[in-house]
């Protein structure tokens, strides 16, 4: 299976709003899941890989929805890979506590080898960064929580 075929499958998933999909071709079995953590590909039973994702997601702290309601969510406008800085050795565009204004670059989302700057559409203070550097993100996923000015 080549890269183009995988991209076609991902586009179909996006088009039809699928969050999971299994695919079997010749001697290859693939399981696609939107929003899942990236794992190293190793020959292992599928149940083991799925169990580790489930354990990782339950380990994340649960936050109180009422506390989050006073913040503005900045969401990913596309599927891609989140980068906090313009280059690996460069400092992050923003950090927790950074004051931002409309038009400030917050991060980069890489999609199909294109680097897309994500700019603020609000002014305020970054109170939480919801993703880690180099994490895959999906459309509409919350990237930042901002306390408005």
Mean pLDDT of 141-147: 96
**DSSP conformation letters of 56-69:** HHHHSPPPPHHHHT
Cα–Cα dist 52/54, whole Å = 5
Average pLDDT of the residues of the chain: 79
35 and 95: one domain? no
Residue 22's pLDDT is 76
Q: Are residues 23 and 55 in the same domain?
A: yes
* pLDDT, tens only, 25-83: 777 777 777 765 444 444 444 444 444 444 444 444 445 554 678 899 999 999 999 99
Instruction: For residue 142, give the CATH number of its domain.
Output: 2.40.50.100
**Residue 40 pLDDT:** 44
Q: 69 is in which domain, residue-wise? A: 65-148
Claim to verify: residue 55 and residue 80 sit in the same structural domain: no
Say whether both 55 and 95 belong to one domain.
no
Domain count across the chain: 2
Give per-residue pLDDT as tens, 103-112.
999 999 999 8
Give the pLDDT score at 59. Answer: 41
- Widest CA span in the chain: 57
Half-sphere exposure of 91 (CA within 13 A, CB side): 3
> Both 54 and 71 in a single domain?
no
**Segment 22-40, tens digit of pLDDT:** 777 777 777 777 765 444 4
Name the token pair of 81.
Answer: 């890979």
Query: At which residue do the structure tokens 């409309």 appear?
Result: 102
């Amino acid at each position: 299976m080549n890269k183009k075929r995988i991209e076609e499958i991902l586009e179909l998933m996006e088009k039809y709003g699928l969050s999971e999909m299994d695919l079997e071709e010749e001697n290859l079995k693939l399981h696609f899941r939107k929003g899942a953590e990236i794992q190293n590909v190793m020959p292992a039973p599928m149940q083991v890989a799925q169990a580790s994702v489930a354990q990782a997601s339950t380990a994340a702290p649960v936050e109180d929805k009422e506390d989050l309601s006073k913040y503005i969510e900045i969401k990913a406008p596309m599927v891609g890979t989140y980068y906090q800085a313009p280059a690996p050795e460069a400092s992050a565009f923003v950090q927790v506590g950074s004051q931002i204004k409309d038009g400030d670059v917050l991060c980069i989302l890489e999609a199909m080898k294109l680097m897309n700057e994500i700019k603020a559409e609000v002014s305020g203070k970054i109170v939480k960064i919801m993703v880690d550097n180099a994490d895959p993100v999906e459309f509409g996923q919350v990237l930042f929580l901002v306390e408005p000015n």
